Amino acid sequence: MAEAPSSPMNPVAETPESHVNGMTTTLPPGSAIKTKTRPRKAPELQTVERRNWLIHLHYVRKEFDVCKQLIREQLEETRGMCEYANYVQGLILRQEGKIQESFELFQLCNILNPSSVENIKQMARALFLLGKHRLAVEAYLQAEMKLDKPDWELHHNLGVCYMHLKDHEGAREQLLYALEQNKHHQTFASLAKIYLLENDIPSAINTYRAAIEYFPENAELHTTLGLLFMQIGKYQQAFEHLGTTLTFDPTNTRAILAAGSMMQSHQDFDVALTKYRVAAQSIPESPPLWNNIAMCFFGKKKYVAAISCLKRANYLAPFDWKILYNLGLVHLTMQQYTSAFHFLSAAVNLRPTKGHIFMLLAIALTYLDDEENARQAYEQAVSLEARDPSVCLNYAIFLKNHDDKEGALRMINEFEVRMVKFRQSTGADLDAEVIENGAKLAMLLGVDGSAFHKKSSHTRLRADDEANQEPVQPANEPPCNSPPPNEDEEITANDNLPEASTILPLEHSIDPAETENLDNKMKESELLATSHMHLMDEEPVMPSGEFLEEGNKNKLEEDLF
């Protein structure tokens, strides 16, 4: 729409005059006929727009150098009065990243032609790109007033600006209005983002669904929808959408990670690893990727490889408590309790509100024979983690093993309560092993544990950590416990949810695994920044100084004689 600048605004009278004057002087006096015809020709009158078409042509071909050259000539000729040249110059500068300069040019355009909405819109956009959202909103509103018919783009941009200003209500209104005018996938995406910011996942999902109806081949939309489905636990649908993404874009790393993590949760480690191999080509420095790969190895019982991968992930993302949590878990499995303790305590430091870490910490402390602290950690875990039954079970086992029968009874009851709630809320059952252990313990304590078995058809649902379960039997023998292979692996898949950082407070999610997905993501966004610093850290690994001398010490005596 931009390429039709209106000429009336340009003060035509002045520009051509000089040329005319110049020519008159050079002309030989006496050619009366010519002097008559000359004013009629007045070709310079049109100069202002004369080469707009050429500028446009070069601009749309991205031939910016030629285009700039032309613009410069044009502006010299018209003394900066050519609106279109200024306009295109602004666009080119913006693409080169010089927003401030382009903003000034659009301002100039606006002065040249105050009636054009397009100019105001571009000004507003420049303001938006400069991060001055409030001013941008004002500019957009001004543009809107000048428009006679609604413009989806304008409303979309307004909505985005409102979103940046944290005015979700206004943003939603504008975006919905924009959608009425015209369906555009960006509008859908922005709208969904607002729903996510407001923690309204179902609405976000509906938005994406609507978007996919209009844009069935947009991989980005499918991926995001798939991730959202994963978040609410609808794995089947999630998988469908992620699969669609991968058909359209087989190297979409977000989709690969998400799909891989779902395969992992179905114990399909080899397939997941093949998927990750593809992803590793394009994102070799992604902490979530390495974490997931590690948990694949963990599932395949290749513990050393798992530790190695997790270490790398931790190196890349030192602030990610999930990686530390997994490291702790793997080390617990390897019966390296001190190492596990260190990783877990680091995880606790980074994320003091997560019950599961405390539970693992307690388990590590149990093995380190620090009964007092283990008890405290369990207390903390039970109070922080209000849903997961396995926490109570582990605590109960611990209490039982330390001859606190009463406490154990209390905990086993709590376990039962939580288990019932869990079944009601998710419709699925706990891991068979957890139930088994619960029943055993109940028997030992003399409670009726049969209730646990109610429907022990094991729908696989991960019960976090029963790392400690076995010791129920009085003899506290570590070797026999094989912790559940896969509980955390999913962790990362989602790292990619756009802007997830604020999506969900962790407590909201139902399934422990889910939560992890989520905030893992959030971590990601910060981490990126951080991870890098970690690398440096070893930088000083430099045996400096004296080595140098070593190198130079006189060694070649033969040189002398």
Partner 1 sequence: MDPLFLALSCFRRRKFDRCIKICTELLSKNPYDQAVWSLKTRALTEQVWVDECDGEEEGLADVLMDDNTIASVARPGTSLRTAPPSSAGGPSQTFRPSTQSGRPLSGVVRPGSQGGRPGTMDQALRTPRTAQTARPVSATSGRHVRLGTASMIQVGEGPFINLARLNVAKYAAQQNIAKALFEYIYFHENDVRHALDLAAQATQVLEFKDWWWKVQLGRCYYRLGLFRDAEKQFKSALKLQDNINTYLLLGRVYIRLDQPMAALEVYREGLDKFPGEVTLLTAMARIYEGLHDLPKAVKYYRDVLHYDATHVEAIACTATTHFYSDQPEVALRFYRRLLQMGIYNCEIFNNLGLCCFYAQQYDMTLTCFERALSLATDRSIADVWYNLGHVALGIGDINLAYQCFRLALVSDNDHGESYNNLGVLEYRRGNLETARAFFMTAANLSPHMFQPHYNHAKLAHKVGDLQTSFIIVQKALALFPEHVDSKELLKTLETHFHTL
Which 283-312 residues touch partner 1, going by CB under 8 A? 283-286, 308, 311-312
Query: Least distance in Å: CB of 35 to partner 1?
Result: 47
Spatial distance between the Cα atoms of 381 and 356, rounded to a whole number of angstroms: 6
- Provide the mask over 496-535, with x wherever binding to partner 1 is found by CB under 8 A and - wherever it is not: ------------------------------x-xxxxxxxx
Q: Is 338 in the site for partner 1 (CB under 8 A)?
A: yes
Query: Least distance in Å: CB of 349 to partner 1?
Result: 3
329 versus 408: smaller Cβ distance to partner 1: 329
Position 57, amino acid: L
Q: Which range binds partner 1 by CB under 8 A, 137-145, 258-266, 390-398, 546-554?
A: 546-554
Q: Which range binds partner 1 by CB under 8 A, 19-27, 104-112, 340-348, 445-453?
A: 340-348
Can you say whether the dihedral through the CA atoms of 446, 447, 452, 453 is positive or negative? positive
What is the distance, to the nearest Å, from the Cα of residue 75 to the centroid of all Cα atoms in its chain? 44
Query: Least distance in Å: CB of 540 to partner 1?
Result: 3
63 versus 477: smaller Cβ distance to partner 1: 63
Query: Least distance in Å: CB of 133 to partner 1?
Result: 7
Cβ atoms within 10 Å of 544's Cβ, excluding its own: 8
Select from 315, 404, 451, 453 the one that contacts partner 1 (CB under 8 A): 315
Give the angle subtended at the CA of 206 by the CAs of 202 and 211, to the nearest 5°.
150
Position 158, amino acid: L
400 versus 523: smaller Cβ distance to partner 1: 523
CB proximity list for 553: less than 8 A, separation 6 or greater: none
Spatial distance between the Cα atoms of 100 and 123, rounded to a whole number of angstroms: 10
Q: Is 145 in the site for partner 1 (CB under 8 A)?
A: no
Spatial distance between the Cα atoms of 26 and 396, rounded to a whole number of angstroms: 107
Query: Least distance in Å: CB of 550 to partner 1?
Result: 5
Q: Is 203 in the site for partner 1 (CB under 8 A)?
A: no
Select from 342, 402, 458, 460 the one that contacts partner 1 (CB under 8 A): 342
Q: Which of residues 347-386 bind partner 1 (CB under 8 A)?
A: 347-350
Q: Which of residues 147-166 bind partner 1 (CB under 8 A)?
A: 164
97 versus 446: smaller Cβ distance to partner 1: 97
Q: Which letter, b or e, does each residue of 62-93 get, where b requires 16 or more Cβ atoms within 10 Å of its Cβ?
A: eebeebbebbeebeebbeebbbbbbbbbbbbb
Spatial distance between the Cα atoms of 432 and 42, rounded to a whole number of angstroms: 93
Q: Which range binds partner 1 by CB under 8 A, 28-36, 104-112, 434-442, 536-544?
A: 536-544
Give the angle subtended at the CA of 399 by the CAs of 414 and 386, to the nearest 5°.
30
Query: Least distance in Å: CB of 84 to partner 1?
Result: 14
Spatial distance between the Cα atoms of 285 and 273, rounded to a whole number of angstroms: 16
